[in-house]
């Protein structure tokens, strides 16, 4: 009698654990769809950054996986019209999307970067960040200071390797 109850409780605990892991993993999140139904990598990357809800480092989680936002940033950075795309994301993207755009503009478009950083800083507020395994809420101003120092742009390009830029 006692053994059957333990088995029932253990199986219920297992089921709840699996459900919690699935919910936490983001597998049930709606997929990002680019505007106009375009499916090329650049359009998908633009949609990912514009709709981003968090500002993530180049390696997150215990395994140090490169998040989709950083991969999308790299696709845009390697496109011929990168500065126009980053300016568009800066104007129309989410709060964290604007930070990704600033990191792109920092690497070669100083005037657009300075004007955009000033506008975003004036908006103020907090952004959810993911650095490694740590999820936190940070001020836009502090993150813009880090972008101004080149920390985020270098990280997005290097994926953990130290490189000299500027």
Q: Do the domain assignments include residue 166?
A: no
pLDDT recorded at residue 124: 87
What is the residue range of 17's domain?
1-30
pLDDT recorded at residue 165: 46
pLDDT, tens digit, 9 for 90 and up, residues 85-129: 999 999 999 999 999 999 999 988 788 889 999 999 998 899 999
* CA 69/CA 45 separation, integer angstroms: 8
Q: How confident is the model at residue 161 (pLDDT cuts 50, 70, 90)?
A: very low
Q: Do the domain assignments include residue 124?
A: yes
Q: Do the domain assignments include residue 164?
A: no
Same domain (yes/no): 60, 87: yes
pLDDT, tens digit, 9 for 90 and up, residues 123-158: 889 999 999 889 999 999 999 999 999 889 888 888
pLDDT, tens digit, 9 for 90 and up, residues 50-84: 999 999 998 888 888 889 999 999 999 999 999 99
Q: Do the domain assignments include residue 110?
A: yes
Same domain (yes/no): 56, 66: yes
């Amino acid at each position: 009698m006692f053994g059957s109850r333990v088995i029932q409780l253990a199986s219920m605990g297992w089921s709840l654990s699996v459900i919690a892991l699935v919910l936490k993993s983001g597998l049930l999140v709606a997929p990002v769809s680019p505007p106009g139904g375009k499916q090329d990598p650049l359009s998908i990357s633009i949609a990912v950054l514009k709709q981003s809800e968090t500002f993530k480092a180049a390696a997150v989680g215990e395994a140090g996986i490169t998040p989709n936002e950083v991969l999308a940033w790299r696709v845009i950075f390697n496109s011929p019209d990168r500065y126009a795309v980053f300016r568009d994301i800066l104007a129309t993207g989410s709060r964290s999307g604007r930070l990704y755009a600033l990191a792109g503009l920092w690497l070669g478009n100083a005037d657009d970067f300075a004007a955009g950083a000033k506008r975003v800083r004036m908006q103020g507020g907090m952004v959810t960040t993911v650095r490694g395994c740590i999820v936190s809420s940070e001020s836009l101003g502090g993150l813009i200071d880090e972008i101004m120092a080149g920390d985020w742009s270098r990280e997005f390009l290097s994926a953990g390797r130290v490189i000299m830029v500027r």
